Structure 1
Amino acid sequence: MSFVKEFKEFAMRGNVIDMAVGVVIGAAFGKIISSLVDDIIMPLVGVATGGINFTDYKFVIQQAVIDGTTQEVLKPEVTLNWGSWIQTIVDFFIVALCIFIAIKGINQLKRKEEKAPAPDPEPTKEEVLLTEIRDLLKEKN
């Protein structure tokens, strides 16, 4: 089997394509949630905490070196951006919550489908004919 043919069989499997679709949708969902956190939730948290923006918090390990005459940065400061890390943790928990809510809703829909009884099947032509014969025999008696 040639390499190209083998790769084509691998790439065209249903589960590989489903996984690719899931990754693309997951990336788009991640952007939506990041926007929700950055643009809606964190400003509200900032107002509630007196205007704190977590992404601004950092530990400076080494100060920047600036040229005294030109004010040009010769060496940028080295920092630990712990506020961005807090922001990422908040993003994660909100994404996890949204996924939990979505999965819970999907599971409830599946349970409703399972509980709904299947409709009675339509009678066959033979059953309809036998019913008519029975009804005619009842009328004669």
Structure 2
Amino acid sequence: MLDEFKKFISRGNVVELAVGIIIGAAFTGIVNSLVKDILMPPIGWVMGGIDFSNYFFSLSGGHYASLQDAEKAGAATINYGRFINACINFLIVSGALFLIVRQVNRLHILHRETPKTPPRQEQLLEEIRDALRAQTAGHTAAGTPPDRPS
């Protein structure tokens, strides 16, 4: 079982997946800061000082000035403003990842080398074609029909 685990963990896909998860976690922190600290203040300012994170419904029936007040009071709340922020985060992350993947794909296409020599099968087919043309040309010049397989 230990040998099987070593084989599993040493495969490239597992290491690449681990690196992707770590980078994704770091990227999520950056995006959360981007949304919370950069994007949401101007959006709130344009919308008249509205802060999405303070949008909530109190299920306890009380009225609270902010979500923090409701949480301090121990009130049950539905925090739909936080959900809106999470949706904005998702859209930004998915948009950023789309742009990154798009650029990486473009780089792969640009750096993809075209084969300098055709594959061996293609070379053989070209040789057969050239031999058949030469055979047909030789018979046509001599005025005899080319041999046809029976």
Per the normalisation by structure 2, the TM-score is 0.65
Q: 1:5 aligns with which of 3, 10, 24?
A: 3
Counterpart residue type for residue 89 of structure 1: C
> Hey, which bits of structure 1, 4+ residues long, moved more than 6 A?
116-119
Write the distance in 2 (CA, Å) between the matches of 1:112 and 1:9: 34
Corresponding residue SS for 1:50: coil
Structure with greater strand percent:
1
CA distance in 2, matches of 1:113, 1:10: 31
Match of 1:38 in 2: 36
Shift of 1:18: 0.8
Root-mean-square deviation (CA), in Å?
2.3
Residue equivalent to 1:53: 51
Task: Give the Cα separation in 1 of the matches to 2:60 and 2:10.
Answer: 52
Match of 1:97 in 2: 95
What does residue range 1-141 of structure 1 map to in structure 2 within 5 Å? 3-63=1-61, 76-114=74-112
The DSSP-based 3-state class of the residue aligned with 2:59 is strand
- Count of paired positions: 108
Does the CA contact (< 8 Å) of 1:60 and 1:79 recur in 2? yes
Amino acid at match of 2:30: I
Q: Distance in 2 between matches of 1:83 and 1:14?
A: 41
Where 1:62 maps in the other structure, the secondary structure is coil
Q: Which runs of 5+ in 2 are unaligned?
A: 63-70, 117-150
Paired residue type of 2:87: I
